[in-house]
Amino acid sequence: MPRFLLPVAALAVAALALVAAGCSHEGRHVATATVVTTKSSASCKLGKAQRGTVALARADIRRLRRIQAPVQTFSQRGAPGQEALTGKFLLDLGSAKLPLNVFSRLLHQAKTATSLCGDCGSGLETEEPVLGTAA
């Protein structure tokens, strides 16, 4: 019988912890955090040039995925055309100043799309933001 009480007791403790976490201090802190989130997302709108850059970069990433799809093994040079398209991606990505989170996300997606190309990955890693600053 004690074996069955253990999960029930754990569930009760978890429920109490959730209730206690929801009742911390005053409700104003939660509302303030929501307002701050709204303000920060409103200030991160992309301009027309930035949206164009993101669209070009995403198209390049789709092409990189199509090039790598039939490849099964790692090679230093990658599939034919993969290095040239990686260079085009880097030029497109650098054509407008993007917010750090957008820049990093696109760079990460390109790195996964070229995971079987050694030179492509090295080129993309050189563009990685260092210590929170985009080059």
Distance, in Å, from the CA atom of 12 to the CA atom of 33, rounded to the nearest integer, reads 29
DSSP structural state of residue 23: T
The residues, any chain, with a CB within 8 Å of residue 17's CB and separated by 6 or more, are none
Per residue of the chain (135 residues), what is the pLDDT tens digit? Answer: 455 555 555 555 555 454 444 444 444 444 444 444 444 454 568 999 999 999 999 999 999 999 999 999 999 989 999 999 999 999 999 999 999 999 999 999 999 999 999 999 999 999 888 765 555
Q: Domain map of the chain by residue range?
A: 2-42, 48-126
Record the tokens describing residue 24, joined without a space.
């911390």
Nearest to 129 by CA among 109, 95, 110, 104: 104
Q: Residue 1 and residue 52: Cα distance in Å, rounded? A: 65
How many whole angstroms separate alpha carbon 24 and alpha carbon 98? 38
Alpha-carbon span 72 to 127, nearest angstrom:
26
